[in-house]
Structure 1
Amino acid sequence: MELRRSGYGVSRGNPMGHYLLRARAIEIFPGPDSYFDQEAAVIRFAGGRISGIVSLQDHTERSQYQLEPQLVTNLFDRNREKRRLVRYADIPAVLVQAITSAEDKRFFQHAGFDPFRVIKAAYVDVREGSHRQGASTISMQLARSLWLTNERTWRRKLPEVLITLQLEQKLSKQQIFEHYCNQIYLGRRGSFSIQGFGEAAQVYLGKDLRQLTVPEAAMLAGLVQNPGRYSPFRYPERMRDRRNVVLGLMRQNGYLTDRQYALAIESSLTLAKGAIESQHAPYFVDLVNDFLQSRFQDIDFQTNSHRVYTTLDIDLQRAASEGVRMGLERVDELLRKQRRHRRAALPDAQVALVAMDPRTGAIKALVGGRNYGLSQLNHAIAKRQPGSVFKPFVYAAAFETALEGGSRAITPSTTVIDEPTTFWYDQRAYEPGNFKNEYNGQVTLRRALAKSMNVATVKVAEMVGYDTVVDLARRAGMNYRINPTPTVALGAYEVTPIEIAGAYTIFANRGEAVKPHFVSMVRAQGGQVMFAHAPEKTAVLDPRVAYLMVNLMEEVTRSGTAAGIRARGFTAPAAGKTGTSHDGWFAGFTSELLCVVWVGFDDNRELLLEGAHSALPIWTEFMKRALEIRPYRNAKPFGAPEGIVSIEVDPLSGMPATPYCPSSRPEVFVAGSEPVGACGLHGGHAGATHVAGWDQPAGGPTTPEAPETVVARRRPLVIQPEPESAAAPVESPKEEKKKRGFFGRLVDVFK
């Protein structure tokens, strides 16, 4: 089945390649059109699994063997037609019988037009006073679809008959029938028209044409008369009645026995599950089609066959569709409660999901909406305010100051005052508020990001400079129209989910931005390469700063606003950030896969659901399924680059912990930027290199004076650099260590 889907056949003349079935083995012979330039091989099986791969060229063992990518869809010209070409030999007899019974029972006997049908149609039209009865044979329908209009007048019949006679003279009946089966219009799938029975079988039934049953063949044949009226997705009962009419005609023509007919009319419609929403990644296909039309404007893709190789992973796309479906069920339930509470009608929430390889930028799965059949608007490329998903870029810009060292370096243990604050810019006041108007006083930047504190984040942006933040965002590939104002810190500008995915690669890819792409190669029919994607990588962040951000975003998933992914059963090492504007966002990644999810309304009204309760559940459902797929299952801990140190700090002051601190935690720093001294909150000398003083309230210093107790400095723990592909765990923040007092130790004695 997989070989056939990839274009391989049993015939040696198949241009894609052919295969031979042996006892417990398959021999594969790639053809001239194969994407992979490799030798033939034999794949052996034992116990239902692959036991070995041997080259048929040099008879040596191979560790892996790549097949031609699966066909996702067929695209044609600017009319947005989709078809799946079939040969007459591939058309099952049951479909030939169904089509001829429904449309032209004497097709193989007449010379192109049927005089008996013409006379009958003329009589009915005269009697009814309108053009109600069709007289077109299959050959005439083909002539009309290729060269004429659908106008139903007798004036059009003469040129139709003349063209039909030409077809009958130049082509055999089998050739005419083959062209008819590839050309006939059979409905719409979103913004695409479905041309031919090969594509219709996939869209409506989710199967190859050669696998059709009698009722399924009758259903497809019944569509020809009026595809819109008999659409099985919209009008299943109407379609079933039409199918049964065709089955009755097949019985009249001797193709079915009475028993076969009785069984067939009682069968239910077996439609493809999720065909419109997911099976062929319609939003992804739209992107590919738009790319081809814009890049190759002078090429006629309908008359010239081309192969377009994309980055899509079919298995991951299925996981994305299922994750979106599961996650939206929860979102819909929450919105139903809102409707009851607000006593207002709300539309269905829309969704976008973009999954990509953070190392290459290859988009592996994409969902652009909840139902492509109802709306073809691709929300993955629609601009919306990202909200707090943007905050990591504020902190990354701030941490770049640590590369220079010195007392003004901003680090994860730097503290700011989280309190109601008015910011002035260009003589305008800006007063952001925290979620639920809750403020936390002095906080470290680690905690400020983990808990997504708005005021603290704007203060960080003010400290480092709004221009610096905007410059980093632009270098990461985001909207060049971002303005350097206080609102930028909270994502108050528009960006697309694909842009966010591309920008987040600077964190997941050790500081390098990778531009998202979805087309790998375009080849002409003769094999010439017309387009080959060239990776576009840009060094944006120092790898040490990128690691600090990954470490902080791991905290978001551990104890911050995204901790829900752990409660929902996702256990792999991951980092990410929630976002809430009018919409809900979550951007997160493992070492193998980066995914961005957006949830919101088309009319831009407020969703009134935080990203943690809208986008995050969808991300989690998808990523759990992704971990079951081979290329993405081995998510590794995030390794630290050279030049990172870790020391124990007090979680409140951010300073090196002392024996007097009730708890401590490891904190990571760019070497040379770690605070010097000791925590002064619980005893010991306060450090002189901490930058909490940047934001001291008017009443005096934030850190109280410490008693004169001499405390030796702790030596920083230097984390050795790991190879980029290493899977060794990294020193990362753990749960705070609670120190036990005298009574605690006394209790231990009696345990």
Structure 2
Amino acid sequence: MRYLLSLFIKLGIAALVAVVFYAIYLDSSLTKRFANERYEASAIVYARPLSLQPLQPLRQAQLLTELEQLRYRESASLSGSGTYRRSGNTVEIHRRPFDFLDGPQMAQKVRVVFDGGRIQRVVSLPDERMLEEFKLDPLLLGQITGDEGEDRLLVGLERVPSLLIETLLLVEDRDFYHHSGVSLSSIGRAAIANLAAMDTVQGGSTLTQQLVKNLYLTRERTLWRKANEALMALIIDFRFSKNEILETYFNEIYFGQDGGRAIHGIGLASRFYYGKQVEELSPAEIAMLVAIVKGPSYYNPHRYPERVKERRDMILQLMFGQQLISQQTYLAALEERVVAPKVARAGRASAPHYMAQVKQEMDAMQLPKSWAKDGLRVFTYFDPIAQRAAELSVTEQLPRLSKQAELQAAVVVANHQQGSLVALVGDRDPQQVGFNRATSALRQIGSLIKPVTYGLALAQPQQYSLATVLEDAPLQFETETGQIWQPENYDGEFRGNILLYDALVGSRNIPAVRLGLEVGLPAIIETLQASGVTTPIPKVPALTLGSVELSPVQVSELYGVFAHYGRYRSFKTIAGLTNHSGVGLYVHRPSSGVSVYDPLTIELVNYGLRGVVNEGTGRRLLQQFGQDALAGKSGTTNDYRDSWFVAYDEHNIVTAWLGRDDNQPIHLTGATGALPVVASTFSQLGVRPRDVTPPAPLEMRAFHPEKGVQIPMNCRSQRRFLSHPQPVAEGMNCAGEIEEKSWWQRIF
């Protein structure tokens, strides 16, 4: 017996020493991991905040659609944030508080008054003060996870409502602030409470133990795991404050699945289930989220609403019994719906092609790999209204234009004022994940290249003007391989002499080729490269008719030069970055860009591109939007393989491409194919007409309709174009000829 007793004592001492050394090891490794590597936070991607301004083109229905996407609730009282009410041509909104890129803004009430397709005024409530601008909180576009693939939105403990904290502790760990990580009394009390309720109403494990299990241990049910869990909980409780542990718990706890992504943390859970920030949760919503904690799969509110309601109501009863809520609040909460019916990607906009571009831009930023520690909030330029317009245009127009199932499409909507991409569609099925034709499909651009040539010519005002006479006659070249290249006009006809303006407006091929060779292929190549083209550019005469291959985004940037004062800027998707605490990390400040054309030359090119819409291949836009509202250009490639159209107003550029992936003909021109898609998109977006006031010293001048020479302004037969100022030649008559003066006129 003495031998056995001695042996047991020695074994006990050895076990104690082993436990001590293991505890020291755990203390060292666990403390470091808990302090620096608790969890991985995702990058939360937001759309642009909808800015409401007087005279802004916006229909009431578009505002209501965005409020529904943001999961605002229609309410007659407008008492809580995240609500709205409508009456006639007005919508009153109680905006949620939100940490915008430029700083936090509190909840606020406003009245928005509409006049047809525009906002008439925005009024602050209740003081009836007129506002120049009011921003809604932005739509959650999606998440980008780090290396671990975990998805969460970090929130500080100060943002968690006290009612949520008290309810969680009431149900899960009443002695949280009084035990040392493990509580034997909690285990006993939980067992008694569960027997009395004939249900699991309280847990035996402390919050610290649950946190340890979620962070570091497996789900296996063994004594070793339970002992390990208890020891780790004691160490964490000793090393860290209760508030640090509680904040970590709120950010780590698992709340279920959204398809293939796991919902971690109260911040993301409140967004996912209710479309709210955690501060806005009602007592019923708090009770539902606490109910899920026990078993997110078993208590899935979308699959088992009755089961979840029963547990939620039991928790509400506990809250009322502990005087956390009043009887009136308790009875009202019992009547609330557990959760809204699940819709596809609830509370988020699905735009896979835009998200792909955001990810690509983030990769190019070379962010530090440690960004997942504090998380990222990615504020983009994504415009849900523009995205819906582009998607609807593709899905409605393609079946009308062609019965070819292989017909594909891409649409890009960009804001040239801020140098941003606001919407992308890269497939005829806008939700199709995969090849993004908006950014990656390189296709010949056809006649879209012609404004580049005309711009180079008009930059030489001593030699060229909009009234310069060009030759539209047969032309042929011998290529390097000995083949004969003989370009033709789309109608197969030749018009002889034609004014430069008419050649641009009518998209005549032969005059464009001749002019391109006059200004020089090297100059065209250099201008394309200055306009952001990085793809190979063939130095052949066919370049003048668009043999270069560009993506729809590159085409948008090319036309951004014409739309924005002759300067090139790369269009971005990301407006700024902060961490989850709101600390600013990056703000996109649009540069002035690289000068490609001087402002006067650009004004002349834009005059011609407005003519394309007013009287050329884009006349359909004139019928819809009026004189000079838009400028644009069509593009069609050989054998009708590609159909392009680009149009822009004071703010937006819309680029549409139609074609087939196998490069087979689609039998559509730019005007019959892509233009209807652009027209449909602008009809939903609304048009902000460009300012057509000519800058000094440009002015309207009269020209002979056939000879292109400047003639007196009072001539009956004339063409008027924007032009550099130059005096009418002495003796010039209305026939475009200089009259010989008589001896009497020469004297006097």
Report the TM-score when normalising by structure 2. Answer: 0.63
**By how many angstroms is 1:585 displaced?**
3.2
Alpha-carbon separation, structure 1, partners of 2:336 and 2:587:
52
Name the counterpart of 1:208.
Answer: 277
Name the counterpart of 1:363.
Answer: 420
**By how many angstroms is 1:467 displaced?**
2.2
**By how many angstroms is 1:513 displaced?**
2.6
2:552 paired with 1:493: no
Alpha-carbon separation, structure 1, partners of 2:123 and 2:331:
46
Name the counterpart of 1:392.
Answer: 451
Name the counterpart of 1:738.
Answer: none
Q: Deviations over 1:422-481 (max 9, x none)?
A: 433323433445446566555433233223334443333233322221121112222252
Name the counterpart of 2:312.
Answer: 250
**By how many angstroms is 1:264 displaced?**
3.9
Equivalent pair of 2:538/2:547 in contact (CA under 8 Å): no
Equivalent pair of 1:186/1:224 in contact (CA under 8 Å): no
Equivalent pair of 1:190/1:376 in contact (CA under 8 Å): no
Name the counterpart of 1:302.
Answer: 372
Alpha-carbon separation, structure 1, partners of 2:423 and 2:504:
28
Q: How does 1:395-410 map to 2 (within 5 A)?
A: 395-400=454-459, 402-405=460-463, 409=464
Alpha-carbon separation, structure 2, partners of 1:223 and 1:586:
53
Alpha-carbon separation, structure 2, partners of 1:274 and 1:564:
37
2:454 paired with 1:375: no
The SS at the match of 1:334 is helix
Q: How does 1:347-496 map to 2 (within 5 A)?
A: 349-358=408-417, 361-363=418-420, 365-369=422-426, 374-375=432-433, 378-385=436-443, 386-400=445-459, 402-405=460-463, 409=464, 411-417=466-472, 421-426=475-480, 427-435=482-490, 442-479=497-534, 481-496=536-551
Name the counterpart of 1:558.
Answer: 614
The SS at the match of 2:538 is coil
2:349 paired with 1:276: yes
Q: 1:136 to 1:447 in 2, by over 3 A?
A: farther
1:366 alignment partner AA: A
2:596 paired with 1:596: no
Name the counterpart of 2:563.
Answer: 508
Q: 1:451 to 1:403 in 2, by over 3 A?
A: closer
Name the counterpart of 1:666.
Answer: 720
Q: Aligned to 2:155, which of 68, 86, 89?
A: 86
Alpha-carbon separation, structure 1, partners of 2:336 and 2:136:
40
1:666 alignment partner AA: R
Q: 1:660 to 1:673 in 2, by over 3 A?
A: closer
Report the TM-score when normalising by structure 1. Answer: 0.63
Higher relative contact order, structure no. (Cα contacts within 8 Å, ≥ 6 residues apart): 2
Q: Deviations over 1:700-736 (max 9, x none)?
A: xxxxxxxxx9899xxxxxxxxxxxxxxxxxxxxxxxx
Q: 1:93 to 1:47 in 2, by over 3 A?
A: closer
Q: 1:170 to 1:498 in 2, by over 3 A?
A: same
Structure 2: gaps of 5 or more residues: 1-80, 82-93, 112-121, 192-203, 319-329, 743-748
Equivalent pair of 2:422/2:573 in contact (CA under 8 Å): no
Equivalent pair of 1:99/1:221 in contact (CA under 8 Å): no
Name the counterpart of 1:333.
Answer: 399
**By how many angstroms is 1:550 displaced?**
0.4
Q: How does 1:96-135 map to 2 (within 5 A)?
A: 106=172
Alpha-carbon separation, structure 1, partners of 2:649 and 2:461:
26
Q: 1:80 to 1:485 in 2, by over 3 A?
A: farther
Alpha-carbon separation, structure 1, partners of 2:209 and 2:551:
48
Name the counterpart of 1:703.
Answer: none
The SS at the match of 1:352 is strand
2:512 alignment partner AA: T
Structure 1: gaps of 5 or more residues: 9-14, 25-42, 53-63, 120-134, 231-237, 340-344, 688-708, 713-751
Equivalent pair of 1:586/1:611 in contact (CA under 8 Å): yes
Equivalent pair of 1:187/1:193 in contact (CA under 8 Å): yes
2:237 paired with 1:183: no
**By how many angstroms is 1:323 displaced?**
1.5
**By how many angstroms is 1:363 displaced?**
0.8
- Percent of aligned pairs with the same amino acid: 21
Q: 1:323 to 1:475 in 2, by over 3 A?
A: same
Q: How does 1:8-23 map to 2 (within 5 A)?
A: 16=103
RMSD over aligned Cα atoms: 5.6
Q: Deviations over 1:536-574 (max 9, x none)?
A: 522221333212210110011112222222333466632
2:508 alignment partner AA: M
Q: 1:634 to 1:585 in 2, by over 3 A?
A: closer
Equivalent pair of 2:614/2:627 in contact (CA under 8 Å): no
Q: Deviations over 1:133-155 (max 9, x none)?
A: xx999766744554467899999
- Higher-Rg member (1/2): 2
Equivalent pair of 1:412/1:446 in contact (CA under 8 Å): yes
